[in-house]
Amino acid sequence: MEISRLTKASLEDAFLFGSIAKKAKAHWGYPAEWLALWEDDLSFTKDFLSMHFVLVLKLADQIRGFCIIIEEPDHFNIEHCWVLPEHLGKGHGSQLLRRALSEPYFANQKIQVLSDPNAVGFYEKFGFKTTQMIPSKPIGREPPLMQMINIGR
């Protein structure tokens, strides 16, 4: 397994990341109408990828997951952290996030994530705590905003 930083994004990367995110989200059994609502949120452009910190998980020289972290004025946001469904439960997502959080740039920084409710346990293992629920799509859905201070992992 290789985890590396994406230094120059391509259109192929943008398409592949969108495909991975959509497959991973669909894995949780959300209705097709909800997945359609999230289409734009799970699509990426080359420019978006080039502007942010992106780690790529490769297995057998094929991209199987990724993590995108965005710098905000007073914290960092894990905007996306996805692994293909067939690789879930094997520790790959944990290795990917652990590698991201080990970057010296993120040491002693506030990190937050608007977590899918199905991923709360995953983030709690890293020390994230739910601070509030955020209104989302569809109306009535409120995923948890989770935060932690990254003391270096």
Give me the pLDDT at residue 6, please: 80
Please give the share of the chain, as a percent, with pLDDT higher than 70. Answer: 99
3-state SS assignment for residue 17? helix
pLDDT category at 60 given cuts 50, 70, 90 is confident
What's the mean pLDDT when you consider all of the chain? 92
Write down the domain spans for the chain.
2-150
Name the percent of the chain lying above pLDDT 90.
Answer: 78
Distances (CA, A) of 140 to 30, 41, 137, 146: 15, 18, 7, 19
Provide CATH code, domain 2-150.
3.40.630.30
**Could you tell me where the DSSP H helices lie in the chain?**
11-27, 32-37, 46-51, 92-101, 120-124
Q: How confident is the model at residue 152 (pLDDT cuts 50, 70, 90)?
A: low
What's phi and psi for 8, nearest 5 deg? Answer: -140, 110
Instruction: Kindly report whether the global pTM for this prediction surpasses the value 0.85.
Output: yes
Residue 22 pLDDT > 60, yes or no?
yes
Query: What would the pLDDT profile of 63-89 be if each residue is shown by its tens digit?
Result: 999 999 999 999 999 999 999 999 988
| pLDDT above 70 (res 3) | yes
pLDDT of residue 153 exceeding 60: no
Could you tell me which of 73, 60, 69, 131 has the C-alpha nearest to residue 97?
69
